[in-house]
Amino acid sequence: MKPLQGTYKPLDFGGEGVTGSVDADGRIIALNMLHRQHGYVTLTPADPFVEAERYNAAQVRAYRASLAGLQGFGLRFAEAVTRREAYLLESAVPFIRLMFDNGGEATVTTLANASGVAQIWEMRGVQPVWEGRLCLQRCAYTQLTEGGPVRMPPLRMHISAQADALHIENPMLPAAVVMRGLEGLPEETHEVEQPLTLRLECAPSTRVVLVYGVGENAAAADEQARRLQQRDASAWLGETLARWRGYWEHTADDPVLRRGLVYGEMLAIPVGEGMCFLTDHMLLPLSWNRDAYYVARALLSWHPAMADVVRRHLLWMFEMAERHEGAWGRCYLANGRIKDGAFQLDQQLFPLLELVDYVEQTGDRALMTRLKPHVEALLDMLMLRRSADSGLFPTDETPADDPIAFPYHLSSHLLLLRVLMKLKRVGLAEAWATVADELRDALPQHFIAAHGERRLYAYATDGAGHHHFYHDANDLPLVLAPLWGILSANDPAWQATMAFAFSEDNEGGAYGGRLGSVHTRAAWPLGDVQDWVIAQLLCEPDRERRALAQLRSAAQWDGALPEASDPQSAAVVSRHWFAWPNAAFACVWLHAFES
């Protein structure tokens, strides 16, 4: 067991759809659960986001950053803490030790499953109270590029403490959390329409197992809390650690790699027969097909036990996630409802690629047969959108969810070609073979153009001779194209484009020699992942070492890569929580793209 170093980022827990995080003292700053109507709801000390600021990017950024500094609810001690240690047991289970000025000590381990959360507290020489600020609300879904706010339900909480339980219910959702594990609680009741700070005196104890049952009402949540109480917490912990130990048997002890795998598995939210992959559990507990593909690809390449997780995600994506006029939306609530409806070409393609990757690796022809009608319908939908003049396929937005200068986007077309090639390998989309050949010929014709003294692949074109030159950290397909057998790493235009991408000529995309995005103007770990791949393709070991060093510098103390970091200080600029960059790192480490 090795302590993590650096500035404290809350440690994360999750299992079977229930997720959350704990602060530096082991108290919970978020306890999240699936909701059939609202997607994902949370019990948190955070205020609801101010609805009038939905389109104010500065306010969105400030709110999201503030969540990393929350003080949670749970046991608090009168004695002064003189030292804190925090660990991830088996890289997955948060464990925190507190040492006090009187020589006392307390430790807490946090576990989660579909019923809720259990915290195992061991104490010596200290007296706790239960204290915290409570707000049971729908998750905020704070987006920099808001695609249309989803109405936030009113905050009306009924909170009641009795001898052996604390009930927290918001009937306007509806949702509830019931805490059990403390005896002799004072009886009190509150009806509030704003977050409430509560302090409950506790009986002296050396060991407490606090359980938080979740449900749509207090009775259901209480039933889950009692179920958690009936489970032997020490045995549960032992089983959990043994499971993770088995997963790690043949996996390198690299914190960035392991974070990508742990977090991806943690964000797999069961929804009936399906499984939704969230992009994170704190800031944007929504699902993007793009992000989800990289999580699925990493899990599939990691351990055989993850194949069923990916299979269930494919069922969620093809059979449960809504489609408007045959097309997937920009992003989704966990329940499968479209959150933002903008049409992005690559979002239509990543599920198809995930399906073929899964079938090729597992041989599950039954799933391919089951989903074949969806594949054919999606390809037909795309054909209806194809330009009769250029033969290209338009998109409404970039893969960063931003407006696009011209409708035809290079990396999405490379992805489309990859999908068509892979579909052909498993006996699907034979009718599209001609389209694939035409597309391969069209790419250099429409996208390669002069930029100064160099000929580059343009980021986007109108198909009529106009080009936008740019490259973005979100656009991995261009870098992966040589691994996919679409372009050659010796292609002069590809090499020139990669050189341009990391230069100051890439306006809005390059930051101190590192790749970022106009979406958040700073260096992105996804850009460092691209740099790492390019270095491997060009056989440049010094560049490869530098890219890996930049990734490790950007990683937070639990191995989590943010969306963006300061190129000089490595401080987080945007999104302490983000599944995609660690998943992409894991994919490269596990050679997932090389087939």
333-360 residues labelled b (16+ CB within 10 A) or e (exposed): bbbbebbbbbbbbbbbbbbbbbbbbbbe
The percent of residues in the chain predicted with pLDDT above 90, rounded, is 95
| CATH code for the domain of 422 | 1.50.10.10
- Identify the helix (H) or strand (E) that includes residue 374: helix 365-385
Nearby residues of 427 by Cβ (< 8 Å), 6 or more positions away: none
Confidence class for position 6, pLDDT limits 50, 70, 90: low
Confidence class for position 1, pLDDT limits 50, 70, 90: very low
Q: Does one domain contain both 28 and 64?
A: yes
Kindly tell me if the per-residue pLDDT of 192 is higher than 90: yes
Give the pLDDT confidence of 37-83 residue by residue, as tens digits.
999 999 999 999 999 999 999 999 999 999 999 999 999 999 999 99
Q: Does one domain contain both 445 and 546?
A: yes
- 299 falls within a domain: yes
- 6 falls within a domain: no
Kindly tell me if the per-residue pLDDT of 244 is higher than 50: yes
- 319 falls within a domain: yes
| CATH code for the domain of 141 | 2.70.98
Look up the domain containing 563 and give its range: 249-589
Q: Does one domain contain both 225 and 374?
A: no
Q: Does one domain contain both 264 and 197?
A: no
Give the pLDDT confidence of 406-419 residue by residue, as tens digits.
999 999 999 999 99
Give the pLDDT confidence of 127-164 residue by residue, as tens digits.
999 999 999 999 999 999 999 999 999 999 999 999 89
- 30 falls within a domain: yes
Q: What is d(CA 281, CA 577) in angstroms, rounded to the nearest whole number?
A: 8
- 2 falls within a domain: no
Please provide the average confidence, as pLDDT, over all residues in the chain.
Answer: 96
Kindly tell me if the per-residue pLDDT of 115 is higher than 80: yes
Instruction: Please give the pLDDT value at position 429.
Output: 82
Q: What is the mean pLDDT of residues 297-325?
A: 98
Q: What is the mean pLDDT of residues 190-198?
A: 98
Q: What is the mean pLDDT of residues 170-184?
A: 96
Q: What is d(CA 27, CA 24) in angstroms, rounded to the nearest whole number?
A: 7
Total Cβ atoms within 10 A of residue 81: 15
Task: Work out how many domains the chain is built from and give that number.
Answer: 2
Q: Does one domain contain both 185 and 262?
A: no
- Identify the helix (H) or strand (E) that includes residue 444: helix 433-447
Give the pLDDT confidence of 530-574 residue by residue, as tens digits.
999 999 999 999 999 999 999 999 999 999 999 999 988 999 999
- 337 falls within a domain: yes
The percent of residues in the chain predicted with pLDDT above 70, rounded, is 99
Q: Does one domain contain both 462 and 410?
A: yes
Domain end residue (candidates: 231, 264, 282):
231
Q: Does one domain contain both 224 and 320?
A: no
Give the pLDDT confidence of 471-528 residue by residue, as tens digits.
999 999 999 999 999 999 999 999 999 999 999 999 999 999 999 999 999 999 999 9
Instruction: Please give the pLDDT value at position 501.
Output: 98
Instruction: Please give the pLDDT value at position 203.
Output: 84
Determine if residue 587 is left, alpha or beta; phi over 0 gives left, psi from -120 to 50 gives alpha, anything else beta: alpha
- 236 falls within a domain: no
In terms of Cα–Cα distance, which of 128, 122, 129, 89 is closest to 107? 122
Domain end residue (candidates: 183, 204, 231):
231
- 533 falls within a domain: yes
Domain end residue (candidates: 231, 260, 295):
231
Q: Which amino acid is at 177?
A: V
Q: Does one domain contain both 77 and 151?
A: yes
Q: Does one domain contain both 151 and 17?
A: yes
Beta carbons of 556 and 571 less than 8 angstroms apart:
no
Q: Rounded to two decimals, what is the model's pTM?
A: 0.97
Instruction: Please give the pLDDT value at position 433.
Output: 86
Q: Does one domain contain both 195 and 258?
A: no
Q: Does one domain contain both 334 and 388?
A: yes
Q: Does one domain contain both 187 and 272?
A: no
Q: What is the mean pLDDT of residues 242-265?
A: 97
